Amino acid sequence: MEEALQYGFSEAEALGKNFIGITLDNGDGLILYVNPFLNDIYKILLMSKSRYNLPSIGVFSNFNGDKYFIYDVGDISELINILGSNLKVIYVEVIKNVLEDFLYQTVVG
pTM of the prediction? 0.93
pLDDT at 109 over 80: no
Structurally, the chain folds into a number of domains equal to: 1
Task: Report the pLDDT value the prediction gives residue 85, as an integer from 0 to 100.
Answer: 87
Mean per-residue pLDDT for 95-100? 94
Confidence (pLDDT) at 108: 84
Residue pair 83/48 in contact by the 8 Å Cβ criterion: no
Q: Which of 48, 43, 42, 34 is nearest to 83 (CA)?
A: 48
What range defines the domain where residue 58 resides? 2-108
Q: What digits encode the pLDDT tens for the residues 17-69?
A: 999 999 999 999 999 999 999 999 999 999 999 999 999 999 999 888 899 99
Torsion of CA 16, 12, 107, 54, to 10 degrees: 180
pLDDT of residue 72: 95
